Structure 1
Amino acid sequence: MKDFNPVQLATPIFIVTIILEIVLARLGKVKANYEARDTAVSLGMGLFSGAAGLLTAGLVVASTLWVYEHRLFEIPMTAIWAWAAIFLLEDLTYYWFHRLSHERRFWWAAHVNHHTSQHYNLSTALRQTWTGGIAGTWALWLPLAFLGFPPAMIAIQKGISLVYQYWIHTEAIRRMPKWFEAVFNTPSHHRVHHARNPRYLDSNYAGILIIWDRLFGTFQPELDKEPCRYGTVKNLATFNILRVAFHEWIGMAADVVRHPRHALGYIFGRPGWSHDGSRDTSVTLKATWRQQQARAAPEPEAGT
């Protein structure tokens, strides 16, 4: 059980289903937009993501084992209740990791590459970070080891979550049954997360359970009247894989060099933050959109 690796086992399925989605799209059976260079970048990011993770793997493992040695409780991997608990707690951890990765530039720099594709298909799911380990977001999972969940158990559940999130990167599935949409993350919910429409920004951070977004006020349903437009607010317009992987780190460093007095803001402020307010953040974009919506709304008739 300790050697169980969900991602490794699912990798052949990833490849087969991407090919299947491409074929079915070409035959007109499903909705899926693929662009050869864009897909190549996604596959390349996924291929080298694992290799990049090796750079910090020793630190991650050593830190997790050290914390586990000082655990509060003894939680057995064989207990069903323990798996139910790790499922909920790991998924909640993922929600806050994902939200942090969108709301603070330092961690956005490691995550943004996942959002750089202007297409939304199964290959987009493989557009994974090369710098997540360096950004240190793995530390958010250390409290689970401190509680007493074995490191192998945490790793397995993280793998299950990653595999689950693969299938929701598609336009081929429109909606799941209402009860499923109410509880779980779905292609519809995650399309909203990948959209750059102002209405949809900063929404649906869920891993497996969409209930966290509903609970913490970040849920936004997909609306038929407003199709999702994918990518980042300012798209890169390049298929250079190195730029995709590192552009935000480079931009952040350049801002710090130009404005050292405001370094903390440029590093830990919201993506797009600037000391003089000359740039837009997701907050200002949504505020502008709301004002436009209010102005466009029809005025009530006299006497009503």
Structure 2
Amino acid sequence: MMDLIGWMEATFGAHIEWKQVVLIGMTPLFLVGFAIEWQVMRKRGGRRQFYWKDILTNVNLGGSYQLFELLVHVLFVGAAVFWFWCHRFFTIPINAWTLLPIFLAVEFCYYWFHRCSHRVRWFWTAHVVHHSGEHMNMSTAMRQSMLYPITGWWLFFMPLVLLGVHPAVVFILYACDLVYQFFIHTESVGKLHPVLEYIFDTPSNHRAHHGRNDCYIDKNYGGVLIVFDRLFGTYVEEQEAVDYGIKRQVYSHNLLTLNFHEFIDMWKDVGKPGKPTERLKHIWGPPEYERTPGVAAQSQLHNADS
């Protein structure tokens, strides 16, 4: 692997966005998977999850996300990641003995990135795009936000780079994690063997993650594995029918609206009168955080009296 990475970097430069290289390269396989899923669901009479305007929106969101992430990587993220690599503590070799532990470490980092994307509003402003779809099919995996490189998804993986794992290896393995996740965004596969359901993030486990049912909110953060959810108490089994979408549903197919509505709302909340700590909590607090009723009004009254 390192020989290929070295050749690519020597040919195209050191700051290659490896995650997008893998994802773009896998596009034909994604299209085949989606076509098979559509045929399976059509034969079962389950085409209700294939709303074509929604699918087109997903494709456009995925394309704009990839292009913008490549741009930001060239302008900033690539250099930032290289800085971490230059300040690494060790250099971990890549071989048959280290590859699996590194993948488990990448999965661990992804779990915390995904969990923070639900529980910290700053990160939720990007991740909300993925959850705003009300239909579940493989194209939903393409429903991604342009804000991801701005909000800093890549920071969650920098501890591995500092420890000495080459950034290309980290992001290629993360891309493999995302490739797997593409195929679990589906209703065409029911529950699998209990052992598989216990270890892996299966279609059933991931459907529950996308539910806005109260019992499913903020559960099942794993990418390939579901074991960290079981370890940290965020696992839920799919039982009742899943209602897809978000609590404050945005009814739009406009790419700008979908990408920026929550980001704009967050800053509007920050801008409302009040104590600085309460205002800033709209950034680092959970998405559902609201100030104590009357605080803003009391602040406005105080300012008027002054």
Using the size of structure 2 for normalisation, the TM-score is 0.85
Note the C-alpha offset of 1:23: 3.2
Provide the C-alpha distance between the structure 2 equivalents of 1:80 and 1:64, rounded to a whole number of angstroms: 25
Q: Deviations over 1:228-287 (max 9, x none)?
A: 100001211222221111110111111122235332121111112111269xxxxxxxxx
The residue identity in structure 1 corresponding to 2:57 is V
* 1:184 aligned residue: 200
C-alpha distance in structure 2 between counterparts of 1:167 and 1:96, whole Å: 21
CA contact (8 A) 1:109 1:249 kept: yes
**Structure 1 partner of 2:297:** none
Equivalent of residue 172 in structure 1, options 188, 191, 195:
188
- Alpha-carbon distance in structure 1 between the residues aligned to 2:48 and 2:154: 33
1:45 counterpart (38, 58, 61): 61
Structure 2 distance, partners of 1:141, 1:186, is 23
Q: Once the 2 structures are TM-superposed, how far is the Cα of residue 30 of structure 1 from its aligned partner?
A: 5.9
What is the letter of the counterpart of residue 197 of structure 1? N
User: Following TM superposition, by how much is the alpha carbon of 1:145 offset from its aligned partner in structure 2, in angstroms?
Assistant: 0.8
For 1:264, the equivalent position in structure 2 comes to 280
Match of 2:77 among 43, 46, 60: 60
Q: In the aligned structure 2, how far is the partner of 1:112 from the partner of 1:44?
A: 16
Contact 1:25 1:32 in 2 (8 A): no
Query: 1:255 corresponds to which residue?
Result: 269
Instruction: State the one-letter code of the partner of 1:154.
Output: V
1:143-154 maps to which residues of 2 (within 5 A)? 143-154=159-170
TM-score by length of 1: 0.86
Q: Structure 1: which 5+ residue stretches go unaligned?
A: 279-304
Q: 1:204 pairs with 210, 215, 220, which one?
A: 220
Indicate the residue corresponding to 2:154 in structure 1.
138
Distance 2:26 2:261 in 1: 30
In the other structure, the counterpart of 1:72 is 89
Q: Secondary structure, in 3 states, of the residue corresponding to 1:81? A: coil
Aligned length: 275
Deviation at 1:72, TM superposition (A): 1.8
Deviation at 1:101, TM superposition (A): 0.4
- Cα distance in 2, alignment partners of residues 35 and 53 from structure 1: 27
Q: Contact 2:125–2:263 (CA<8 Å) still a contact in 1?
A: yes
In terms of mean alpha carbon deviation, does 127-136 or 252-261 score higher? Answer: 252-261
Q: Matched residues in 2 for 1:101 and 1:258: separation?
A: 23
Per-residue deviation, 1:197: 0.3
Q: In structure 2, do the counterparts of structure 1 residues 75 and 220 end up closer, same or farther at CA, with 3 Å as the change threshold? A: same
Matching residue of 1:114: 130
Partner of 1:291: none
The structural deviation recorded for 1:32 is 6.2
SS of the residue 2:109 aligns to: helix
Mapped contact 1:72–1:148 kept (Cα < 8 A): yes
Q: Is contact 2:211-2:243 (8 Å) kept?
A: yes
- Give the letter aligned to residue 77 of structure 2: V
Which residue of 2 is the match for residue 245 of structure 1?
A: 259
1:96 aligns with 2:112: yes
Distance, in Å, in 1 between the alignment partners of 2:179 and 2:133 is 20
Structure 2 match to 1:27? 43
Q: Paired residue for 2:245?
A: 231
Instruction: Give distance in 2, aligned partners of 1:241 and 1:221.
Output: 33
User: 1:157 and 2:169 equivalent?
Assistant: no
Give the whole-Å Cα distance in 2 for the aligned partners of 1:49 and 1:260. 35
Note if contact 2:124-2:287 (Cα within 8 Å) is conserved in structure 1. Answer: yes
Identical positions, percent = 37
